[in-house]
Structure 1
Amino acid sequence: MAWFALFIAGLLEVVWAFFMKQSHGFTRLTPTLITFATMFASFGLLSWSMRSLPMGTAYSVWTGIGAVGAFVVGAALLGEPLSPMRVAAAALIVGGLVLMKVAS
């Protein structure tokens, strides 16, 4: 159950990063409120998952899901550049996440 909570926490990190971008520096109310609500939920689930998972593993997986997810959302929804080097970097992060899971 801790791994599932950690996965959801990572997805929520992607959501709050996206809405932080949409808030335009916290000047738009709705995206700002969504940012803080999903940030709170993401941190809460991360904290809960750390009760049974090692801190280094949980934090690495959480940030990795957030980083790769933000990269994908940025490219798919915001038109951010998608170069072979950026894709390779994201693939290396995913590889690291898989190794963290296997090593746990």
Structure 2
Amino acid sequence: MTARHAADADAIPGGAVRRAAGADGASGLAARLAAMISTACDGRLTAEEVLASGASLSALGVTSLALLRLIDAVEDEFDVDLDLGGGASYLDSFPLLVGYVDARTS
């Protein structure tokens, strides 16, 4: 991905979700991250619920402990640094998280 496309993915995170999801809406990067969120939440959320929601992660019920688990899992799986400092707006919602990871792994 070029620098321009990476910036576009950050600016329009919903586009990253649409690119990451296949025709059935449950494949690729978005599905992997949704499953990771479900695991981090000990299954209280399903991957399908995460994929279908546009709500913030906290509104979905992702606790601070689950968020720390998710950060560890994403950093290990994708070799991407997720820093809680500086606002970390990419941790506010699923589409922003997908866009952030997509821009740094493509």
TM-score, scaled to structure 1 = 0.31
For the pair shown, the structure with the greater C-alpha radius of gyration is: 1
TM-score, scaled to structure 2 = 0.31
Give 1 or 2: higher helix fraction: 1
Larger RCO, structure (CA 8 Å, separation 6 or more): 2
